[in-house]
Amino acid sequence: MHATHIPSLSSVTVTVNGRPVELEVPSHALLLDVLRDRLGLKGAKRSCDIQVCGACTVLVDGAPVSACTYLAAEADGRQILTIEGLADGDTLHPLQAAFIEHGAVQCGFCTSGMLLSAAALLAEDPAPTRERIVHYLRGNLCRCTGYQKILEAIAACADHRGDRA
């Protein structure tokens, strides 16, 4: 009768940072916990837990998503990029280098989410205005930096972006 009834486990086939992964997860498992606890990818953090702060941001098929409020089961068949996959081996993404260069990193808890959101923005709009950057980062909070250096770092990448999308 219920051909599509899925019991309380979900099979998930997903590409994470370019590598295929097959998992069985409880249906109620959140992507953030699966990434952190099952796959050991601790870069995404839990902070507000209600999609406001962005510390848990990962990219699903290139789009920023709050992993804290995203069922792991939803990731089936999709490509996930976490902070651990942003660099190309030892070559940092221009945004990562810019964050270091511009002093945009302090406690680091917002950094993973901030970088991935910024990367998604630049992929969509390689030369965003400051207003566009600010709008796109509405959901990425930082309590340490006061944002100024983060915005500067992103703007610096907007001018001359690397060959990474």
Partner 1 sequence: MLRPFTLHQPSMLTEVADLLAEHHDEAILYAGGTEVLLLMKEGLLRPRHLIDVKRVPGLDTITATGGYLTIGATAHHRAVECSPLVHERCPIVAGVARHVANVRVRNVGTVGGNLAFADPHSDLATLFLALDGTLTLWSRRGEHELSLTQFVRGEYETAREEDEVLTAVRLRPWPAGTVAAYLKFGVYERPTLGVTAAIQPGAAGRPSAVCVTVGCVGPRPQRLFEVERQAVGESPATLGARSEELGSVAAREVEVVADRHGSAEYKREITGVFVQRALHVATARAQGQETHARYAYTVIV
Partner 2 sequence: MSPVAPLRVVGHSVRRLDALDKVTGRARYVTDLERPNMLHAKLLRSPYPHARIVHVEVTRARAQAGVHAVVTGTDFGWCDPYFGPAFRDRPILAIDVARYEGEPVAAVVAADEEAAAEALELIEIEYEEVPAVTTLEEALAPGAALVHTSEPLAGYFADLSTLKPKPGTNICHQFHLERGAGAAAFAEADVVVDDVYRFPRVQHYSMEPHAALAAWDEDGGLTVWASTQNPYSVRVELAKMFRLPLSRIRIIVPPLGGGFGGKTYAKLEPIVGALARIAGRPVRLALSVEEAFRTVRRCDARAHVRLGFKHDGTLWAAECHADFDVGAYADIGPRIIQKGTYTATGPYRVPHIVLHAHAVYTNTTPGGAFRGFGVPQLAWALESLIDEAARSLGHDPVDLRRQNLLAHGEEFAPGDTPIDGKFEESLNRAAEAIRWSQQPAADRGRGLAMMMKASIGPTVSEAIVRLHADASVTVLAGTVEMGQGARTVMAQIAAEVLAVPVESVMVPTPDTAITPYDQTTSSSRSTTMMGRAVQEAATDVRDQLLHIASQRLGVAVGALRVEDAGVATADHRLPYPELLQERFGMGGGELIGRGVVAPGRSAAPLGGSTPFWEMAVGAAEVSVDEETGAVVVESYISVADVGRCINPQQCEAQDEGAVMQGLGHTLLEEMVYEGGQLLNANLLDYRVPRAEDVPGHLHCQFVENGDGAGPFGAKGAGEGSLVPVSPAVGNALTRLTGVRFRELPLTPERVWRALRQRRGEKRLTPPHA
- Binding segment for partner 1 among 62-70, 82-90, 91-99, 101-109 (CB under 8 A)? 62-70
Neighbours of 32 (CB within 10 A): 24
Binding status of residue 127 toward partner 2 by CB under 8 A: no
Tell me whether residue 10 or residue 82 sits nearer to partner 1 (CB atom): 10
Binding mask 49-78 for partner 2 (x = CB under 8 A): xx-xx-x-----------------------
Binding status of residue 41 toward partner 2 by CB under 8 A: yes
115 binds, among partner 1, partner 2, none (CB under 5 to 8 A by kind): partner 2
Q: Return the SS3 of 6.
A: coil
Binding status of residue 9 toward partner 2 by CB under 8 A: no
Binding status of residue 150 toward partner 2 by CB under 8 A: yes
Binding to partner 2 in span 10-29, by CB under 8 A? none
SS3 annotation, 53-97: CCCCEEEECCEEEEHHHCEHHHHCCCEEECHHHCCECCECCHHHH
**Residue from 59, 86, 122, 158 in contact with partner 2 (CB under 8 A):** 86
The DSSP bridge partners found for residue 60 are: 63, 80
Neighbours of 71 (CB within 10 A): 17
Amino acid at 39: L
With contact defined as beta carbons under 8 Å apart, do 68 and 60 qualify? no
The C-alpha atoms of residue 54 and residue 61 are separated, in whole angstroms, by 17
Q: Point out which residues bind partner 1 (CB under 8 A).
A: 1-8, 10, 26-30, 33, 49-52, 54, 57, 60, 63-66, 69-71, 73, 117, 120, 136, 138-140
